Chain A
Amino acid sequence: MKYLDEFRNPKIARQLLDEIHRTVTKPWVIMEICGGQTHSIIKNGIDQLLPKYVELVHGPGCPVCVTPLELIDKAIAIALQPNVIFTSFGDMLRVPGSHQDLFMARSQGADVRTVYSPLEALELCRQNPDKEVVFFAVGFETTAPGNAMAIYQAKREGLRNFSELVSHVLVPPAMEALLSSPTNRVQGYLAAGHVCAVMGWADYEPIAKKYHVPIVPTGFEPIDILEGILTTVKLLEQGECKVENQYGRAVKKEGNPSAKALIQQVFEISDRKWRGIGAIPNSGYTLKKEFEAFDAEKKFEISHLNTEESEECISGLVLQGLKKPHECLAFGNACTEQHPLGATMVSSEGACAAYYKYQRLTQNS
């Protein structure tokens, strides 16, 4: 299949692996930012084929995983209100809140629906003028343009029954937060290809310089990831700390100007709490004042939520690349796909889920 098979070609993969093996002379710790990349690495077994000197640690780029527990509890509380149609991308439905998830809310009578785009939620608004339609606007810069577009269109059409529960987070502040942490081990980044397709990579240049790390915007197919690793390893071995784009077929330095303009029109940068990591300044988006009528947190005043995080779950350390999923005592025991303790075990992009699904074997043996 075009644009797919050529990036999964085993022969090219072998050549790239050989070159990585030839290039590396000392140990390096590289973090892939995006959960989609983690998933691809584990699914294809790339980590099993790399030289021992190249350690991949898994980054915080799983939107489902870093959405704060309070917000999930809030989503469930809103979904359970009468007269509400609560819409969300599929991944979010199984994420455990303090006491239940959105699937359980649905079984209690909440009208919770999976959509593929926030614009589908707008269509539900038009069809159900007497209902309040809420969209769970979760994600990184990648989903921000679509979520901004829904708000923009709702305002233009005067759809008063639409709102978004916004939990948008931004990649560069998180990268900086990890690099400036005293426990940081990361020496180079594979930046998230889809995020860069929207935002470009100019923002990464000062980070590369300041923290002395190479940053390589990288795609998601096995060949993309191997190329990204090879580029990063070469830069590390040469002591070069710059941004080098691997994902040229999708990413331009300036990103997508119309998408960025739309984001700026609807959202403003704000502080955000990341589940498992904590508050990071200027690391998220909030709706601008002129769009606050579409802010579900303001429309539905939900308070008195008593959030409880599992004490056994170490997802925060996993999201910061400080621990691997199988180093958690609960992994595969108290915490499984059937009974996840934290979001990293739920999301298809979560590192714990990827290890559990594909690699219990190698971890146990």
Chain B
Amino acid sequence: MSAIIPESLSCPCPITQHDTIQMAHGAGGRLSAELTQKLFLPRFANPALSALEDQAMLTVPSGRLAFSTDSFVVDPLFFPGGDIGDLAINGTVNDIAMSGAKPMYLSVGFIIEEGLSMETLHRALLSMERAAKTAEIAIVTGDTKVVEKGQCDKLFINTSGIGIIPDGVEISCRRLKPGDQILLSGTLADHGMAIMTTRKGLSFQSHLKSDTASLGKLVEAMLGITKNIHALRDPTRGGLATTLNEFAKSSNVGIEIFEDALPVRPDVKGACEVLGIDPLYVANEGKCVVVLPKDQCEAVLNEMKSHPVGKDACLIGEVTDKNPGMVIMKTMLGANRIVDMPLGEQLPRIC
């Protein structure tokens, strides 16, 4: 008997006129309407979206808005621990949350390659629905374009979103101060290594899983302890090393991190070793770096640990006035080395 997976129980793909996406699904006519009615609305329905106007009309509380956009072109579409659907929701939710804002509304744009199976699209939509529910964010407007076969790779998704920044919260990469402590919400490199080992052409077995997750609730909980968080960022592309370098340069301070404090799962570490890749430079999709004054550090760390996406949170370093603009690692042997910005894609070594 095959294993029962939750999505197979919940919603089978609706019966549509075609099993695959046709050019006409993006042409604004009858097939476009069928796609909206049968696939999109049942997943994302809410008053603003279901009005089916050309725009969402929203009432927002007063205060400052955080607004962010991100595009998702991941290959493969489905990977251990996640897929393009939850990645597209969590990615933008997290970018908004990193300002301290409570994420509220999302727009979604689909660019679909002609011939994509309806089943595949539906699977991604189910996953978006689940992720949006978890993050408590509403998808209020959307767009679909279909391009000829070969003009894009299966499915690209863009999401943009807004959130409201609570009063008294001032989070910025320019606010780091010497003496601040640096926390990390969990293990490094899970997402990037899950993708890398799954991707076609890399045929070694692993059970690595992406860490894709929404960080909105974690940030809300942290701000419940103190509003005095100086900087917050999710170390996605370029990994932790890039985020810390951006912080050090923007605030013109030094950052010191401790090699023996960096959390990496043993299987992820193993995959990194085999491929010659430094986990410091690998993408994460459900982690954040938190910089805050020392006197708030312990309380925030304890709060993070009590939250499911922050259970492995730990102290990884501190801000100093030495070597402004640079990130220095205290190695396990007690020496110092630079942690530089990555040049680009990490290249697997020869031997």
Residues of A within 8 A of B (CB): 1, 4, 8, 10, 13-14, 17, 36, 42-46, 48-49, 63-64, 89-94, 113-116, 120, 138-140, 142-143, 194, 222, 337-338, 347-349, 356-362
Contacts and interface: CB of A to CB of B under 8 A. Distances in A.
Interface of B: 201-202, 260, 266, 269-270, 273, 275-276, 323, 326, 328, 331-338, 340, 343, 347-351
A361 B334 CA distance: 16
A92 B350 CA distance: 8
Residue of B201, B348, B349 most packed against chain A (CB within 10 A): B349
A222 B347 contact: no
A338 B344 CA distance: 9
A40 B340 CA distance: 16
Interface of chain A, main secondary structure: helix
10 contacts: A14-B333, A44-B333, A45-B336, A45-B337, A49-B333, A63-B351, A139-B350, A143-B350, A143-B351, A361-B338
B333 A90 contact: no
Contacts of A338: 343
Contact of B201 (A45, A116, A358): A116
Contacts of A36: 349, 351
Contacts of A46: 333, 335
Contact of A357 (B260, B323, B340): B340
B270 A8 contact: no
A138 B350 contact: yes
Nearest to B332: A10
A89 B335 contact: no
A42 B337 contact: yes
Contacts of B336: 45, 48, 361-362
B249 to A, nearest CB: 15
B332 A91 contact: no
Contacts of A90: 347-349
Nearest to A88: B350
B351 A142 contact: yes
B349 A91 contact: yes
A337 B343 contact: yes
Contacts of B328: 361
Contact of B347 (A4, A63, A94): A94
B335 A48 contact: yes
